[in-house]
Amino acid sequence: MSNSLGNNLLYQGFLTSTVLEHKSRISPPCVGGNSLFQQQVISKSPLSTEFRGNRLKVQKKKIPMEKKRAFSSSPHAVLTTDTSSELAEKFSLERNIELQVDVRPPTSGDVSFVDFQATNGSDKLFLHWGAVKFGKETWSLPNDRPDGTKVYKNKALRTPFVKSGSNSILRLEIRDTAIEAIEFLIYDEAYDKWIKNNGGNFRVKLSRKEIRGPDVSVPEELVQIQSYLRWERKGKQNYTPEKEKEEYEAARTELQEEIARGASIQDIRARLTKTNDKSQSKEEPLHVTKSEIPDDLAQAQAYIRWEKAGKPNYPPEKQIEELEEARRELQLELEKGITLDELRKKITKGEIKTKAEKHVKRSSFAVERIQRKKRDFGQLIKYPSSPAVQVQKVLEEPPALSKIKLYAKEKEEQIDDPILNKKIFKVDDGELLVLVAKSSGKTKVHLATDLNQPITLHWALSKSRGEWMVPPSSILPPGSIILDKAAETPFSASSSDGLTSKVQSLDIVIEDGNFVGMPFVLLSGEKWIKNQGSDFYVDFSAASKLALKAAGDGSGTAKSLLDKIADMESEAQKSFMHRFNIAADLIEDATSAGELGFAGILVWMRFMATRQLIWNKNYNVKPREISKAQDRLTDLLQNAFTSHPQYREILRMIMSTVGRGGEGDVGQRIRDEILVIQRKNDCKGGMMEEWHQKLHNNTSPDDVVICQALIDYIKSDFDLGVYWKTLNENGITKERLLSYDRAIHSEPNFRGDQKNGLLRDLGHYMRTLKAVHSGADLESAIANCMGYKTEGEGFMVGVQINPVSGLPSGFQGLLHFVLDHVEDKNVETLLEGLLEAREELRPLLLKPNNRLKDLLFLDIALDSTVRTAVERGYEELNNANPEKIMYFISLVLENLALSVDDNEDLVYCLKGWNQALSMSNGGDNHWALFAKAVLDRTRLALASKAEWYHHLLQPSAEYLGSILGVDQWALNIFTEEIIRAGSAASLSSLLNRLDPVLRKTANLGSWQIISPVEAVGYVVVVDELLSVQNEIYEKPTILVANSVKGEEEIPDGAVALITPDMPDVLSHVSVRARNGKVCFATCFDPNILADLQAKEGRILLLKPTPSDIIYSEVNEIELQSSSNLVEAETSATLRLVKKQFGGCYAISADEFTSEMVGAKSRNIAYLKGKVPSSVGIPTSVALPFGVFEKVLSDDINQGVAKELQILTKKLSEGDFSALGEIRTTILDLSAPAQLVKELKEKMQGSGMPWPGDEGPKRWEQAWMAIKKVWASKWNERAYFSTRKVKLDHDYLCMAVLVQEIINADYAFVIHATNPSSGDDSEIYAEVVRGLGETLVGAYPGRALSFICKKKDLNSTQVLGYPSKPIGLFIKRSIIFRSDSNGEDLEGYAGAGLYDSVPMDEEEKVVIDYSSDPLITDGNFRQTILSSIARAGHAIEELYGSPQDIEGVVRDGKIYVVQTRPQM
């Protein structure tokens, strides 16, 4: 059939009852003939048959190469000259079988006879048949059946031939006059073979007496449709022009016969166009009344009106009103004197004028805003699941090995030679093993399969991948035959090799070392078995990996899986079908590898989605095959989502990159519907034809973008700039269009009269494209969950998707609300609807469901729509009040919390935002200050999530990307782009909008001054302070560091430190800055920070004020005169006095002296009994100075002492790696018995619990903690700190203060003089939840900070609310605190350099400040803060100087654990 005929006969698929334009003759054939359909015709292919529904469909399977087989020629039919029958056909079949069919018309009555005679056939031939009635396409099963006939699967009849000499005969008697023809196949049971007619069914027409007269006329458009149906029924063959004409006239004859039997033109039109329109008569009048306008035309016009109105959600009464209005519009057209046929054409082209106007979308709900349910956001928390339990289960219950895997294990044990390659393929219902070994220059290939049927290997060799070369005859195994470009060798049963698993196997030995691999397929009878639609290939080379380039060693990845992916990428590039099937095969490996395995799959799929990998490489794949492969992969991901909840977040991300997939019919509609669009809208050439060819060859997600670009182009009144803008914004360039296997060279070029029809039809087509490619498309995802039905039209198959069961009550209405508002400019109500829908959906995602993936894709679509809506709503927030921005933030944060695992911190941030809104609405003056803390915490949570993504995904991206040749820029930003694709990026943008508003409202300014020192120096920008803490700057340097955690050292030569980070004012680095007279401040304004960073290399003068830093550029002369160049003299006077062992391993508090312990221990002993009774002092004992040295010198530790001596020498020679080795070696010390005895006596004598009473293990924990305190003398920070001030590290001695831990509600640090301002009239303090380690250690976030005037200790002023996400809590235990002789030297802040170690590990708890009375209860807060201030003031009064005090709060009572002079 020619291309033009194929196009002309296609059924119009979107408006029911519309017909084709009148054609008086067939268009001439196009060059090349049937170019439109030639992809579906494969000439030299074995055929397989599959039964679906009530119609026999023939699928044609492609083989890898031409070969000579028993299929000698294609069957053909010729007319005989048998005069005894009115119709006779003779067919030459395989193996010299001749089949003659004679049709004898009724001589009396209505019985027709069909006689079959087969010559040279076997004794077991069967007729596999059915009847085709007039106007029907599917088979019917006649009641009159010969003896022996059986019904085959309720779809066909199977009747045996009767043997008569060398012939086999059979007669059918057909009495049903409605039967037009018999269709059949021949089944030869002796050879288990189907005999077909050019891959399709044989068809024999019955002869009926004709009653028609010569004057019967049939409209040409009906003849064209009938001709197309005949062509489709006969397998869409390639017709010559002569045959086309013959078929066309045969179609006319069939319709004339139907009319002769009593059918009207109207009946035939209704049948062919699948409508129930009976209102037209044979001779249509020129004018009809309103009541005579067919319903289908009125409905079509009503649909056009609805589209033009913006697709509003009409109530039933409005729908009726619109239908009547459409009738009136059509009546006006008829009154102009046109016929119904002409009217039908005008509707098809969208030429009927309508007064319908664009409606503002209104909700079908009674209200324009949904009422959100009150929810406990704590229910959203998804705690991290530990995979250890599941891994243990796997270890305890190892899966049984399959027969082939067991065989492979046994075979490998037998093979002495090195195995170069081992692969196990899944084939049909079994497996195929390929082992490649090398020995004495020979390559040995061993194949084995557990398939039951006899298997033949169709194989070749190759000197380059993809090549098929005939193997040398000298290496062919017994039973082999040579074919064109290949050989065939049968497998044999391995029954004599002594192995326990009996399989079919085959060995091939290749002596020529020039061959690099072996391509092959398997043959089972007439069935080809391939590797996911492609040839199998086994590589002979060892370690046949692509160059790793800069990929590194793959650490931090599932390297084995990534290597496997890299090996299979060349196969995956063939098509999406191949890629998705390969990914599906790897899911089991990914599951075994755990989180890193799924990370590898995600990285690979993300490379695919971002077009970093080839999508299609000269391979023709049907859309339904891609859809089926997607469906298989997403089914497996769905199962993993249920069975491995700890990986849900990453599995969800994989699914969003893959798309939904779906029933094969949905995929096939991609091919079918583009033909309908072309024919209906008269756009068969140019760009549309090129796109159609691309769609037929290999559809991809690019097609969604192309379709959208066409829609935008048409809507813009055919502005090509708009077309290219849509393409380019979505990553499709002209070069990419040209790169397709079926390139798109042309630009669209449509006429004005095509506009409405194309917009309508492309809009429908977009739904089909998105159903396959866009799992995150909202409308498609909703339809898949709520269910929809698309009727089959013309040659297209129908689709029916059932609703997901168990959806919440009212959920459908909620989704309709979302669709009603999805394009609203003001997005607040839309966001509320989207979030409510996700909340309602969430419980269904947490339990098994056979439609879980549809629910997941709906959730992904809702999530994606939130992000796009927020981005669209930025303009709405330009002049919004801070409360509205906070509300938007809470909605986006809720969306993010619904999307990720391990979301506890995010949920508590969400609760914090809701509390801030409540405070603002309630008139609380602290709302902005509190909101700023929540904002800071939210930023920390986002940073933590980004760090997790980077740690998990970036190593896999860099390793796999380097192997696959992905662009380096794409690898560099891989994790960043992952984050940008989600809600986190939108949330970050909203936080940036709100931050300056909050700072202004709370009077926070752009700076927090931590150390107010004037400074001048050269600007140096660094990423982390940690990376330069050991540097020595020769010139005065102002460091601008993006990251400052709090525990770092300030490098020599640094005169100022500026950071956007938020270390506590009382953190180690803050104390260091103040002690070293270094300017230190946090800059909150990104614009100021960017300006400072832009001045890198220049000289700046920094002048701090109480709330700001004024900076200006200066020259070298001003730098020279700066006071920064005056060297401090204090360091030269610092001296350490080495302490000696005093004869006791342990002492009580009343024995603390300067010779025995440091100031920390002495001060705590001094406070006992002197502070007010409201302040508690913990009981303490100590291991004094010299105990470490005494233990090291003990005979039981001689080995440790020798090792330390070597390491100390190594350190003195400048090898700082020895520091870590020293710390590790100290942990090997053994405790002398006397130490244990004395420490036990002192602790018990002081009323402290002795760890050994709980068992030997508890004492070992205590002893390990003591050793860690001693070892901290050699931590890097402390070691380099002493070097900077020229202290002799050997003279530093470490006592250990032993205290019982108070299980604190809060911990605090007090500075009796405000360190930021130097004001000695006010106390400054910071408070955290739990233990104080989060305050003095490098824990992110800020503590609650406050000041209190000493003259009014009842009046406290909160400066900042807490943003620390983590609190440390511990059960009743013992803590061992460092107490060195170097911590409290005047002019040297040694505190905090060394470790304090609890015997038990602290529990990290994510803090919910919305339930913390210190935050929510003003009276409680005032009481606690005043009590802390009173304790600080009392201790300052006791010492007579400002103090740096640490303590805790337990049940409202204040405990002080240490104090020292404030530096």
Residue 1007: CA count within 13 A, CB half-sphere: 22
Phi, psi of 1175 (to 5 degrees): -110, 120
Concerning whether 1068 is annotated as a catalytic residue, the answer is yes
Q: Which residues pair with 57 in a beta bridge?
A: 50
Phi, psi of 1005 (to 5 degrees): 70, -170
Alpha-carbon torsion (298, 299, 303, 306), positive or negative: positive
- Rounded to a whole number of angstroms, the distance between the first and last alpha carbons of the chain is 96
Q: Phi-psi bin for 794: left (phi > 0), alpha (psi -120 to 50), beta?
A: left
Task: Tell me the helix, strand and coil percentages in the chain, rounded to 5.
Answer: 40, 20, 40
Burial of residue 326 (number of CB atoms within 10 Å: 0-12, 13-18, 19+): buried
DSSP H or E stretch at residue 194: strand 193-195
Q: In degrees, to the nearest 5, what angle opens at C-alpha 1252 toward C-alphas 1250 and 1256? A: 165
Helix (H, G, I), strand (E, B) or coil at 188: strand
Query: How far lies 50's CA from each of 43, 427, 637, in Å?
Result: 19, 19, 29
Burial of residue 590 (number of CB atoms within 10 Å: 0-12, 13-18, 19+): buried
Q: Phi-psi bin for 1153: left (phi > 0), alpha (psi -120 to 50), beta?
A: beta
Query: How far is residue 376's CA from residue 1390's CA, in Å, rounded to a whole number?
Result: 47
List 446, 578, 1068, 1311, catalytic entry:
1068
Query: How far is residue 329's CA from residue 573's CA, in Å, rounded to a whole number?
Result: 54
Whose tokens are 């890198």? That residue is 1096
> Residue 398, Cβ neighbours under 10 Å: how many?
7
Helix (H, G, I), strand (E, B) or coil at 1450: strand
**Rg over CA atoms, the chain:** 42
Nearest alpha carbon to residue 326 among 358, 300, 357, 359: 300
Q: Which residues contact 751 (CB under 8 A, 6 or more apart)?
A: none
The DSSP string of 902-963 is S-HHHHHHHHHHHHHHHHHHTT-TTHHHHHHHHHHHHHHHHHHHHHHHHHHHHHHHHHHHHH
Contact 309, 358 (CB under 8 A): yes
Tokens of 263: 């059918």
Nearest alpha carbon to residue 1308 among 1341, 1340, 1334, 1275: 1334
Residue 1066: CA count within 13 A, CB half-sphere: 29
Nearest alpha carbon to residue 389 among 768, 147, 566, 645: 645
Query: How far lies 931's CA from each of 295, 999, 1062, 1076, in Å?
Result: 61, 10, 16, 34
Query: How far is residue 184's CA from residue 1089's CA, in Å, rounded to a whole number?
Result: 82
Query: How far is residue 528's CA from residue 532's CA, in Å, rounded to a whole number?
Result: 12
829-867 burial, b at 16+ Cβ within 10 Å, e below that, comes to: bbbbbbbbbbbbbeebbeeebebbbbbbbbbbbbbbbbb
Helix (H, G, I), strand (E, B) or coil at 551: coil
Which amino acid is located at 300 in the chain? A
The catalytic site residues sit at: 1068
